[in-house]
């Protein structure tokens, strides 16, 4: 493989609900039609929402590593997944989307090690940090992870800035400049997001030499976030418990679905229940809900939510299968009333 063009790896970091997935999906239509992109997705919980991306986007494939963090407890799984993607797909680019607690510095060093091991057949191209401007001050002051994500990056994308005032945006930018005054900061343009030419092909110079202060892998930051599954449906469809060896790859051309039974949830009840969630304690709710007009993907973050249609439906009979993420020690209590309103259980 020495004469083969290296496969660039672009890493997207950012706290829960910052909009990383939406930005990645918005980049795809702007790329050449024959440009192959594989997404390596790292997420909390055990509901594989983003496996549907392969079927509903132009991604070549989606590979998911669940219930952990790639920069610490799942480092080995990340390296294995990257090699499998290289060998099975040989894409033009690999995009890694990290969980909200990932430290970009230690993650980048692991990819740098893989560069050397593969003789640069895989190479780190850029680290991109997505900032949720609307909720920036709500978590920035308390989360060391989000501070580090803004400090060790090639590009900072400011997302959801259109929801706040010019004065609030100035404050966000001032905070970002305090954390990192040299890195380019770009406002995302709504659904159009950002020009891929700005963030692809950067050939990062970050972490090119060993730094003992940053190579140490500390998994304690993974404790910032706790997850709970909210489920309604037959016992056979309950999510299974994932461990550090759990890694799934989904190809769009190989997905199959079957029809399922079960009374659909009422959208009005769902919306009312979502409005009662506290965004201080509950940071993200995502998963599948069967409604009268079909199965939907629910994506709730810090008080805002979207319901988007799932083209082929849930194949396992579940009516509700959601993962809630939030403050450790508080998340179960915070979503118990929400689950009860939907006649669902906490798993």
Query: Using CA atoms, how far apart are residues 177 and 270, in angstroms rounded to an integer?
Result: 40
Query: Using CA atoms, how far apart are residues 26 and 70, in angstroms rounded to an integer?
Result: 24
What's CA 338's distance to the chain center, in Å?
Answer: 23
Residues of the chain with pLDDT under 70: 1-3, 44-48, 50-55, 66-75, 100-102, 137-146, 208-224, 236, 239-262, 312-316
Query: Using CA atoms, how far apart are residues 328 and 338, in angstroms rounded to an integer?
Result: 17
Under DSSP, is residue 177 helix (H, G, I), strand (E, B) or coil? helix
Per-residue pLDDT, 241: 52
Cβ atoms within 10 Å of 321's Cβ, excluding its own = 28
The residue whose two tokens read 């994932």 is 242
Q: What is the biggest distance separating any 2 CA atoms in the chain, rounded to whole angstroms? A: 59
Q: Provide the whole-model pTM.
A: 0.80
With CA atoms as reference, report the closest residue to 204 among 112, 79, 118: 112
Q: In this predicted model, what pLDDT tens digit does every residue of 252-305 receive, in sequence order? A: 433 333 334 468 999 999 999 999 999 888 988 988 999 999 889 898 988 889
CATH superfamily of 7-222: P-loop containing nucleotide triphosphate hydrolases (3.40.50.300)
Query: Using CA atoms, how far apart are residues 294 and 219, in angstroms rounded to an integer?
Result: 40
Query: Using CA atoms, how far apart are residues 15 and 69, in angstroms rounded to an integer?
Result: 13
Q: Hey, what are 56's tokens?
A: 């509903």
Q: In this predicted model, what pLDDT tens digit does every residue of 36-72 receive, in sequence order? A: 999 998 776 656 676 666 567 888 888 887 666 665 5
């Amino acid at each position: 493989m020495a004469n083969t063009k290296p496969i660039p790896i672009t890493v997207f970091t950012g706290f829960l609900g910052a909009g990383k997935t939406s930005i990645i999906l918005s980049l795809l239509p702007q790329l050449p039609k024959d440009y192959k992109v594989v997404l390596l997705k790292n997420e909390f919980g055990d509901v594989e929402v983003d496996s549907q991306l392969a079927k509903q986007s132009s991604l070549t494939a989606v590979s998911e590593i669940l219930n952990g963090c790639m920069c610490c407890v799942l480092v080995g799984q990340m390296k294995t997944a990257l090699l499998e993607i290289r060998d099975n797909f040989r894409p033009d680019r690999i995009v890694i989307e990290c969980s909200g607690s990932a430290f970009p510095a230690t993650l980048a060093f692991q990819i740098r090690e893989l560069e050397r091991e593969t003789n640069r057949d895989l190479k780190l191209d850029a680290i991109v940090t997505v900032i949720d401007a609307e909720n920036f001050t709500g978590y920035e002051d308390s989360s060391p992870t989000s501070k580090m994500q803004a400090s060790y990056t090639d590009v900072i994308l400011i997302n959801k800035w259109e929801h706040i005032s010019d004065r609030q945006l100035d404050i966000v930018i001032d905070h970002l400049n305090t954390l990192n005054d040299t890195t380019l900061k770009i406002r995302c343009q709504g659904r159009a997001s950002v020009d891929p030419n700005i963030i692809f092909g950067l050939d990062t110079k970050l972490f090119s030499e060993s730094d003992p202060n940053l190579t140490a892998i500390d998994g304690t930051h993974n404790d910032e976030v706790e997850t709970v599954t909210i489920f309604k449906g037959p016992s056979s469809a309950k999510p299974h418990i994932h461990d550090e060896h759990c890694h799934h790859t989904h190809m769009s051309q190989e997905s199959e679905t079957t029809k399922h039974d079960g009374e659909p949830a009422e959208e009005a009840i769902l919306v009312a229940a979502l409005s009662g969630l506290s965004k201080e304690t509950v940071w993200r709710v995502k998963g599948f809900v069967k409604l009268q007009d079909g199965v939907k993907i629910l994506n709730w973050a810090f008080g805002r939510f979207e319901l988007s249609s799932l083209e082929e439906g849930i194949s396992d009979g579940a009516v509700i299968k959601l993962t809630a993420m939030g403050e450790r020690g508080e998340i179960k209590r915070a979503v118990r009333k929400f689950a009860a309103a939907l006649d669902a259980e906490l798993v």
